Each structure stands twice: as C-alpha cells, then as structure tokens.
Amino acid sequence: MPMFERRQTRQIFVGKVPVGGNAPITVQSMTITKTADVEGTLQQIYALAAAGCDIVRCTCNEAEAAEGLAQIVPRSPIPIIADIHHQYRMALAALEAGVQGLRLNPGNIRRPEHIKAVAAEARDRNVPIRIGVNGGSLDPALYTKWGGITPEAMVESAMQELAYFQEVDFDLVKISVKASNVPLMVEAYRQLSEATNVPLHLGVTEAGPPPAGLVKATAGISTLLLEGIGDTIRYSLTADPVEEARAGRQLLEALGLRERKNVDLIACPSCGRAEVDVIDVANRAMKAFGDREIPLQVAVMGCVVNGPGEAREADIGIAAGNKRGHLFVKGRNVAVVAESEMVEALVEWAEYIHEHGAEAAIARVDTALAEREAAKDRAQLLDDKGNDANHAHDKIIEIRKRVEH
C-alpha cells in the first residue's frame, strides 16, 4: 500500500472506467494511426489494452476521423476519448459517433459560445470532457498577461474553461496542465490541486524518445503521485504507444498504486563475483516473460554468495555460480540447473508458482539437496575470489597509511 494520502477528488466515469475519488489511478495512451483507418486503429487499441492501458485517445481532426470513430467505439475493449483541436464541430461529430470522452484544448478553441455548445451537448449525453491545457499552445492573452508560460497562466486557462462549463451546468470534467518542462508542470499541478477538486490527468507533454523521455515523464508524474496528486496518467513518448501504456502501468505498480499485473524483474548490478553476464541474462529473462500476466517478483543475481539473501523477498530468483544456476523460492534453494537453462527454468518455475503457490513449488523438490549443491558453489567461489573480490581491504590499509603520513 502507498505510504502517502491521495488527494480526494470528485469521481467521473469515462465509459465504465471510474476516474477520481477512490478509484484506482488509470493509465491512458493515444493511438498514432489515422482514425479513419478503422482496422489499423483497432489493432493498436487492442495492443494498448493488452499492455495495461485503461483509456485510449484517438484524434478527431476531420470528418473521416469522426466516421471512423463511429465504427471503432463499439468494437473497442476500452473507452475512447476523442482528441479535438481548433474545430469545435469535430467535438460535436465525435459525440455523435458515440465516444466516451472528449479532450478540448483551451488554447485552440477559445470562443466561449463554441466551448459552451460542446459542453452542453456533452452534458446531455453524459460524456466527460478533459480540459487539456498545454504549455505549448497557451492562449496568447494569458501568455501576455503572465509574461510567458507560467504555472499561474496554465491554471488560469483551466479555470476559465471550467467557468464556461459551469455556465451550462456541466461538471463531468477532468483537467490536465501539461508542459515539457518538468518543474513547470509539477508546480502547475500543485497549484491546480489547490484550486479545484476536479480529477487531474497527469503528464509531461512531448517528453521525447526513451530513455530520456521515460526519465523526464517519470520525474514529473511520480513526484506528483507521491504527493497524492493525480487520478489518471499518460506518458507522452516519441515511441510506440504500447511503450507508454507499459511505462504507466509499471510506474503505478512500483508505487503500489495498482496491483501487479506482470513480472517485476529485479537484478543485481554485477560485481567482481559475477559468474555470468547479468545484463544478458536479465534481458533474456525480460524477453522470455514478455507480456505474460505473472504478477511475481523475479530476481536475477550474478553470484551465489549474496544473491539469495539480497533477493530474499522475491517470489523466485536465480543466482549464477560455478557454471550453474541456483534457483531459489522465497530465499530457499530449490534446484540447480545448467547455466544454459537458467532463463527457461525461471519461466517454468514462475508459471508453477503463479498457478500453485510458493509453498507448493518448494514442496515438490528435495530442498536439502539443492541447498547442499548451492553451499558447495558458494564455498568454491569464495576460495577462488575471496570474500574481498575487489581487494577493498588492502586498499583501505594503503589509504590509512597515506592519511597517517
């Protein structure tokens, strides 16, 4: 469970998915296909759903896109939000197509009568709208007023739009105030969370390609989540959107905000004792597990000296030693396999544990035999490389000599 208190917000529903209140924080992404390409877009939506995406956004920038949405919405496994820019009539067309949500950018649709017309139609259809403020497309009047893109300007933009909605008694709203600058984005959301109890959609816009984009987006999103701010998130990466969904899901799992869905693979950084290429084994293990829904923590350790102890809390792990891999479940040695079979053994045991439980997995083998074999390899490794594999003890003696003299 998270060690922080979530900020309480009003709850809305995007289709059947709750957002805000006590609902789980949801993961969003956006298709990069042409929405008029119905089959291609649906294929991407199904891939996103399989990767952990709860809600997906599709662009609605032309009549053909709206017509495509009319065919996509009833076949989608997750709710569809239509992304609207500049043309308010596209929002009305998307509502006619049956979408479960809209995203409006106040910096692009600025005429009050157009904003209220869309809100009134959404109200009548019980469809929520995200007010999507973006630092890169801020209303010029606010840019001038605040002397640039500032948290205050972004929050004021959101609150202005919210006021238009309130004029037509529309309150099915969530808000985002995204920027590509992380400190700016974080401060804007902090101020917004003080100004309203509307659910907040978190994201660092235009974060860029991985790995830098992942770092930037995680820095902003996780900072706010750890402060209890945020009800739904999106990684905006220059990459396959499936990577966005995976990243969002993994972040929420890492913070204890969603139940684990897939493997959590931990691995040692390697050292002088490592008996295998830990990076290679870990990467092969990640590939082997793929998108299998096995919600276990799996450890890959480079040696049998500290490996089992360091990953004692893992559901299953493997430690390399003496050209063999020592499998352990909940810190107990259960089997010894050939080095070439390490990854395959991890997957097989993980599947068994997921189906039958750790105690059943331990009970099916002679743990005493496995522990004796592991003890032999640990003893040999210590003889070969010593407890001080990197000769730190000798270095400390020389350091002290230099300090004393």
pLDDT (tens digit per residue) in 139-162: 899 999 999 999 999 999 999 999
Q: Tell whether 245 and 275 lie within a shared domain.
A: no
Predicted confidence at residue 386, as pLDDT, reads: 54
What secondary structure does DSSP assign to 148-197, as a single string?
SS-HHHHHHHHHHHHHHHHHTT---EEEEEE-SSHHHHHHHHHHHHHH--
The chain-wide mean pLDDT, for the chain, equals 90
Q: What is the DSSP letter of 108?
A: T
The answer to whether residue 400 sits within a structural domain is no
Q: What is the DSSP letter of 147?
A: T
The answer to whether residue 396 sits within a structural domain is no
CA torsion through residues 387, 389, 392, 395, sign: positive
Q: Enumerate the β-bridge partners of residue 130.
A: 103, 174
pLDDT (tens digit per residue) in 180-236: 999 999 999 999 999 999 999 999 999 999 999 999 999 999 999 999 999 999 999
Q: Which of 318, 316, 321 lies closest to 303 in space, CA to CA? A: 321
- Phi then psi for residue 52, to 5 deg, are 110, 10
Q: Which residues contact 238 (CB under 8 A, 6 or more apart)?
A: 207, 208, 209, 213
Q: Tell whether 148 and 270 lie within a shared domain.
A: no
Q: Give the structural domain span for 339.
A: 264-385
The answer to whether residue 248 sits within a structural domain is yes
Band of residue 136 on the pLDDT scale cut at 50, 70, 90: confident
The number of distinct structural domains making up the chain is: 2
Which tokens go with 20?
A: 């805000």
Q: Which residues contact 267 (CB under 8 A, 6 or more apart)?
A: 278, 279, 281, 282, 299, 300, 301
Pair 301, 267: CB distance under 8 Å? yes
The answer to whether residue 405 sits within a structural domain is no
pLDDT at 62 exceeding the cut of 70: yes
